[in-house]
């Protein structure tokens, strides 16, 4: 019986099978093995290669970002989770991961916006409320932080999170007790036109608000003035005193409302007008400035609001100016995520013509070509991405393979 001859491809396959799992391991398996061995750097490198091999692998993004956070490479983690949000806009948890990384990177306005975008999808998520509160507090948005901390305390029911509930309660107490700008001298409280009703249960229940104010108990004073106003709702001095107590107890919104009432009822009271102006100015200063138009488009893209990002970036591109290249880049990425490959390819090419560059742009062009069925162009563009990549970038390995005469993969 003649000896059976095996085809070379079959010999290779059999060799891989008998070589065991290590020979078949992909970058994700290598990453897990490196993590198990405690080699964080090798794991980070392998997870990056896993993402390049499969840009839709949500788990690879999350694993890479987790390691970057542990290594305190917060900006790297932001980039990873931005890519996750763009690659998988329906994966809501990616938005939370991005918000957390932005907060760790001390990019508090962006973190707050990302937390709010996640809360729209998951309004009962307690962790996001706490992260939002921390971000707003760092920005100086005291009313917003108070609201978010209170929402967290209300939502959090896990016994394991008791220490964070205690921390939130401490923050609430500190914010409520923080001092406000002291108002000027006020007019004396005018006597009532008629004797006060014999039974004043609300005022009696909270004691003497003037005495509470004098000893620095502004919360009790505020509650007392509130009760007194029920009997005398048109007393401008009561509104003024309540405004002062509310401001000193951290309730700026209530303080401004009663300061306006005092001005309306007594237009000649300069102290009330000054207090109202001070509170309005403080509220205006606490509001974060609106980001530039291109930054708004980039934020919408990171949050997965693809059509909003496309609209904003199109407006920026139409206006021209130095950010036109970045606007076309955002347009291309949004169109790519929406599956409009031909338009995405044209937008990305325009971005390239306006000075945008880098391996990621070439890679995005390659992916657009791939989606159009133009495999040859995709391979050429991916080669350009590999050449443009830094030496330690996963894409650079493709250039090395090509220079060595090996066949590169044609998947972007």
**Are the C-beta atoms of 57 and 73 separated by less than 8 Å?**
no
Query: Which residues have a Cβ under 8 Å from the Cβ of 134 and sit 6 or more positions away?
Result: 103, 145
pLDDT at 1 over 80: no
The predicted pLDDT at position 389 comes to 65
Of 13 and 142, the one with more pLDDT? 142
Over 60: is that where the pLDDT of 367 sits? yes
Buried b (16+ CB within 10 A) or exposed e, 128-159: bbbbbbbbbbebebbebbbebbebbbebbeee
pTM for this entry? 0.42
Number of separate helices (H) and strands (E) present in the chain: 24, 0
Containing 373, the helix (H) or strand (E) segment is: none
Kindly state the average pLDDT of the residues 174-193. 48
Task: Round to whole Å and give the CA distance between 321 and 158.
Answer: 51
The per-residue pLDDT for 251 is: 82
Q: 269: phi > 0 → left, psi -120 to 50 → alpha, else beta; which?
A: beta
Rg value, the chain, Cα = 31
Q: What whole-number distance in Å separates Cα of residue 296 and Cα of residue 307? A: 13
Does position 407 have pLDDT exceeding 60, yes or no? Answer: no
Q: What pLDDT does residue 182 have?
A: 35
Measured between alpha carbons, how far is 128 from 120 in angstroms, rounded to an integer? 10
Structure confidence at residue 16 (pLDDT)? 37
Least confident of 152-161, 277-286, 305-314: 277-286
User: Residue 324 and residue 70: Cα distance in Å, rounded?
Assistant: 36
pLDDT at 189: 41
Assign 97 a pLDDT band (cuts: 50, 70, 90).
very high
Angstrom distance (rounded) from CA 183 to CA 180: 9
**Whether residue 207 has pLDDT greater than 90:** no
Is 90 exceeded by the pLDDT of residue 102? yes
Residue in this structure with the two tokens 């932080």, named with its chain if needed: 145
pLDDT at 65 over 50: yes
The pLDDT tens digits for 233-291 are 888 888 888 888 888 887 887 888 888 888 888 877 777 788 878 877 776 666 555 56
Count Cα atoms within 13 angstroms, Cβ side, for 83.
Answer: 23
- On whether the CB atoms of residues 151 and 196 are closer than 8 A, the answer is no
- Both structure tokens of 377: 């162009």
Q: Is 80 exceeded by the pLDDT of residue 193?
A: no
Looking at residue 185, its pLDDT comes to 38
Tens digit of each residue's pLDDT (9 = 90 or more) over 104-138: 999 988 999 999 989 988 888 999 999 999 999 88
Q: What tokens appear for 62 in the block?
A: 């999350």
User: In the predicted model, what is the mean pLDDT of residues 68-88?
Assistant: 90
pLDDT category at 397 given cuts 50, 70, 90 is low
Quote the CA–CA distance of 128 and 115 in Å, as a whole number. 6
Average confidence (pLDDT) over 335-360: 86
Q: HSE on the CB side for 295, CA within 13 Å?
A: 7
> Is it the case that residue 371 has pLDDT exceeding 60?
yes
Predicted local distance difference test score (pLDDT) of residue 396 = 58
Token couple for 245:
């107590």
Residue appearing with tokens 């013509």: 353
């Amino acid at each position: 019986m003649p000896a059976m001859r095996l085809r070379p491809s079959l010999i290779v396959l059999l060799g891989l099978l008998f070589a065991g799992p290590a020979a078949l391991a992909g970058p994700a398996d290598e990453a897990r093995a490196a993590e198990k061995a405690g080699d964080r750097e090798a794991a980070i490198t392998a997870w990056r290669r896993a993402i390049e091999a499969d840009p839709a692998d949500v788990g690879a993004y999350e694993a890479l970002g987790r390691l970057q956070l542990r290594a305190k490479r917060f900006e790297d983690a932001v980039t990873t989770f931005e890519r996750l949000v763009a690659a998988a806009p329906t994966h809501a948890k990616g938005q939370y991961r991005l918000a957390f990384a932005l907060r760790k990177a001390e990019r508090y306005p962006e973190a707050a916006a990302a937390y709010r975008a996640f809360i729209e999808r998951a309004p009962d998520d307690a962790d996001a409320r706490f992260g939002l509160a921390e971000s707003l507090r760092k920005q100086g948005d005291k009313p917003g932080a108070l609201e978010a901390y209170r929402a967290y305390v209300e939502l959090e029911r896990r016994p394991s999170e008791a220490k964070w509930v205690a921390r939130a309660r401490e923050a609430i107490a500190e914010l409520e007790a923080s001092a406000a700008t002291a108002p000027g001298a006020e007019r004396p409280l005018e006597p009532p036109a008629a004797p006060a009703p014999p039974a004043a249960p609300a005022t009696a229940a909270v004691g003497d608000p003037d005495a509470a104010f004098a000893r620095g108990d502004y919360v009790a004073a505020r509650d007392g003035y509130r009760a007194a106003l029920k009997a005398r709702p048109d007393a401008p001095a009561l509104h003024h005193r309540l405004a002062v107590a509310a401001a000193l107890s951290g309730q700026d919104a209530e303080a401004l409302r009663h300061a306006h009432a005092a001005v309306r009822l007594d237009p000649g009271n300069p102290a009330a007008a000054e207090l109202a102006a001070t509170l309005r100015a403080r509220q205006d200063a606490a509001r974060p400035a609106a980001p530039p138009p291109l930054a708004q488009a980039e934020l919408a893209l990171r949050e997965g609001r693809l059509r909003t990002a496309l609209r904003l970036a199109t407006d920026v591109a139409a206006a021209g100016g130095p950010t036109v290249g970045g606007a076309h880049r955002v347009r291309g990425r949004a169109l790519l995520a929406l599956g409009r490959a031909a338009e995405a390819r044209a937008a990305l090419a325009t971005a390239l013509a306006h000075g945008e560059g880098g391996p990621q742009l070439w890679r995005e062009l390659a992916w657009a070509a791939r989606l159009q069925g133009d495999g040859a162009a995709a391979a050429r563009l991916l080669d350009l991405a590999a050449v443009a990549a830094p030496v330690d970038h996963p894409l650079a390995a493709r250039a090395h393979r090509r220079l060595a005469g090996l066949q590169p993969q044609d998947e972007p």
